[in-house]
Structure 1
Amino acid sequence: MLYIFDDFVLDPGRRELRSGASAVAMEPQVFDLLVHLIRHRERVVSRDEMIESIWGGRIVSESALSTRINAVRSAISDNGTEQRLIKTLPRKGVRFVGDVREEQKLTEATSVSPLERRAVEIIDAHRTAEDLPALALPGTAMIEGYSEALSPVEPTPSGSRHVLAPRATVAAIAAICVLSLGTLTWGYLARSAESGRRMSIETAAKLIHVSEEIHMNSRENYEAARALRQWAVDLDRHNAEALADLTFAIVTGVLNHWSENEVADLHAADLTLQDALSIAPGSMKVRGAQCHILRAMRQYEAAIKACSELAQSFPKYAFLHKEVGYDRLMMGQPNEALAEFLEADRLEPNSQLRWSWQQGIGVVYLMQGQDQKAIEWLARAALEAPNAANPVAYLASAYALVGREQEAHEALVHYRKLWPNTTLETFRPSIGTAAFNSKMQRVLEGLRLAGLPE
Structure 2
Amino acid sequence: MKFAGYALDPQGFELRHGGERVAVEPQVLSLLLLLAANRERMVSKDEIIEEVWDGRIVSESAISARIKAARKAVGDDGTAQKVIRTIHGRGFRFVAVVEESVAAVVEADEAPAATPPSTRPSIAVLPFALIGESGPHDIIADALPADIIMDLARINWLFVIARGSSFRFRGPDADPIAVGRALAVTYCLTGQIERTGHSVSVRCALIDTRDGHTVWSERYEGAIESLQELRPEIERGVVESVLQHIPQNEVRLARGLPAAQLDAWASFHLGIDHMYRFNAADNAAASRLFGHALERDPWFSRAMAGLSFTHFQSAFMAYDEQVGRHVEQARMLAQKAVETDRLDPFGHFSLGRCSWLEGRLDDSIAWFDRATSLSPSFAQGVYNRGLVATIAGQARQADRDLALALDLSPLDPMAYAMISGRALTHLQFGELEQAAQFGERAALTPGAHKHIKLIAALTLNLIGKRQEAAAWLAKARADDADLSAASFFRSFPYAQGEARETLERGLRAIGV
* Shorter-normalised TM range: 0.5 to 0.7
- Kindly provide the CA deviation profile for residues 372-394 of structure 1, in whole angstroms up to 9, marking residues without a partner as x: 21122122221224651111111
> Is 1:208–1:228's contact at 8 Å kept on the other side of the alignment?
yes
> Is 1:394–1:443's contact at 8 Å kept on the other side of the alignment?
no
CA–CA separation in structure 2 for the residues paired with 1:364 and 1:260: 31
CA–CA separation in structure 1 for the residues paired with 2:449 and 2:405: 19
Task: Tell me how far 1:412 sits from its aligned partner.
Answer: 0.8
Letter in 1 for 2:499: K
- Kindly provide the CA deviation profile for residues 309-333 of structure 1, in whole angstroms up to 9, marking residues without a partner as x: 3323321111221121122122222
Change (3 A) 1:282 1:423: closer
**Residues 1:184 and 2:254 are matched in the alignment:** yes
**What SS is found at the alignment partner of 2:492?**
coil
Letter in 1 for 2:504: L
Change (3 A) 1:182 1:424: closer
Letter in 2 for 1:449: A
> Is 2:294–2:300's contact at 8 Å kept on the other side of the alignment?
yes
CA–CA separation in structure 2 for the residues paired with 1:254 and 1:290: 14
Q: Which has the larger radius of gyration?
A: 2
CA–CA separation in structure 2 for the residues paired with 1:273 and 1:425: 26
- Kindly provide the CA deviation profile for residues 195-227 of structure 1, in whole angstroms up to 9, marking residues without a partner as x: xxxxx7x52321111121232433333233223
Change (3 A) 1:183 1:218: same
**Residues 1:431 and 2:496 are matched in the alignment:** no
1:334 to 395, 404, 429: 395
Structure 1 partner of 2:507: 447
Structure 2 partner of 1:254: 315
**Residues 1:206 and 2:206 are matched in the alignment:** no
Task: Tell me how far 1:410 sits from its aligned partner.
Answer: 0.8
CA–CA separation in structure 1 for the residues paired with 2:487 and 2:374: 40
Task: Tell me how far 1:365 sits from its aligned partner.
Answer: 1.4
Structure 2 partner of 1:14: none
Q: Which has the higher strand share?
A: 2
2:367 to 306, 309, 315: 306
Change (3 A) 1:301 1:423: closer
Structure 2 partner of 1:419: 480
CA–CA separation in structure 2 for the residues paired with 1:298 and 1:397: 23
> Is 1:254–1:262's contact at 8 Å kept on the other side of the alignment?
yes
Long gaps (5+) in structure 1: 1-129, 131-179, 191-199
Percent identity between matched residues is 18
1:344 to 381, 402, 405: 405
CA–CA separation in structure 1 for the residues paired with 2:399 and 2:319: 26
Letter in 2 for 1:204: A
> Is 2:440–2:460's contact at 8 Å kept on the other side of the alignment?
no
**What SS is found at the alignment partner of 1:238?**
coil
Change (3 A) 1:185 1:347: closer
> Is 2:355–2:364's contact at 8 Å kept on the other side of the alignment?
yes
- Kindly provide the CA deviation profile for residues 243-263 of structure 1, in whole angstroms up to 9, marking residues without a partner as x: 111112212322333353122
- Kindly provide the CA deviation profile for residues 172-192 of structure 1, in whole angstroms up to 9, marking residues without a partner as x: xxxxxxxx98643555536xx
> Is 1:186–1:206's contact at 8 Å kept on the other side of the alignment?
no
Letter in 1 for 2:478: K
**What SS is found at the alignment partner of 1:207?**
helix
- Kindly provide the CA deviation profile for residues 27-51 of structure 1, in whole angstroms up to 9, marking residues without a partner as x: xxxxxxxxxxxxxxxxxxxxxxxxx
**Residues 1:229 and 2:299 are matched in the alignment:** no
Letter in 2 for 1:400: N
- Kindly provide the CA deviation profile for residues 338-360 of structure 1, in whole angstroms up to 9, marking residues without a partner as x: 12111111211121111111111
Structure 2 partner of 1:355: 416
CA–CA separation in structure 1 for the residues paired with 2:496 and 2:463: 26
Correspondences of 1:310-321 after superposition (within 5 Å):
310-321=371-382
CA–CA separation in structure 1 for the residues paired with 2:506 and 2:332: 40
Task: Tell me how far 1:404 sits from its aligned partner.
Answer: 1.2
Structure 1 partner of 2:126: none
- Kindly provide the CA deviation profile for residues 378-422 of structure 1, in whole angstroms up to 9, marking residues without a partner as x: 222212246511111111111211111111111111111111122
Is the deviation greater in 248-257 or in 335-344? 248-257
CA–CA separation in structure 2 for the residues paired with 1:346 and 1:426: 31
Change (3 A) 1:299 1:249: same
Change (3 A) 1:339 1:272: same
Correspondences of 1:263-412 after superposition (within 5 Å):
263-385=324-446, 388-412=449-473
Letter in 2 for 1:399: L
CA–CA separation in structure 2 for the residues paired with 1:352 and 1:413: 24
RMSD: 2.7
**Aligned pairs, number:** 263
> Is 1:397–1:445's contact at 8 Å kept on the other side of the alignment?
no
CA–CA separation in structure 2 for the residues paired with 1:444 and 1:205: 44
Larger RCO (CA within 8 A; separation ≥ 6): 1
CA–CA separation in structure 1 for the residues paired with 2:483 and 2:273: 30
